[in-house]
């Protein structure tokens, strides 16, 4: 399924990936815990060609995907952990980036 999504993107020549296209296959938002003040989530998003791991452009796209899910900017990134997945078919490196996100209640 992931390969089919990637091939569709490559064939169509899209300059930017739509987060709805990436949902489920690459982007996940999972609740992890709650306390008196916050709900906590694990947000997993890709870093790949077009959205490199340590670039302003890549991080801006990932934060946009996160904002789309919460429909607000009212959240706190508690941690960020890039995990290398290997090199992809078109020569770039691929990562999943795991974020711990706190959302005020």
- Residues 74-87 have pLDDT tens digits of 999 999 999 998 88
pLDDT tier, 53 (very low <50, low <70, confident <90, very high otherwise):
very high
Closest CA to 62 of 19, 104, 20, 94: 19
pTM for this predicted structure:
0.75
pLDDT tier, 26 (very low <50, low <70, confident <90, very high otherwise):
confident
User: What's the confidence (pLDDT) of residue 48?
Assistant: 85
Looking up tokens 């078919």, which residue turns up? 89
């Amino acid at each position: 399924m992931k390969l089919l999504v990637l091939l569709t993107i490559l064939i169509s020549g899209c300059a930017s990936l739509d987060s709805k296209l990436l949902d489920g296959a690459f982007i996940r938002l999972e609740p992890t815990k709650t306390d008196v003040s916050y709900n906590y989530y694990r947000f997993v998003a890709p870093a790949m060609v077009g959205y490199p791991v340590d670039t302003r452009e890549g991080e801006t796209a990932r934060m946009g995907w996160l904002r789309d899910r919460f429909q607000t900017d009212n959240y706190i990134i508690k941690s960020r952990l890039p995990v290398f997945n290997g090199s992809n078919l078109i020569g770039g490196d691929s990562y999943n980036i795991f974020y711990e996100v706190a959302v005020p209640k």
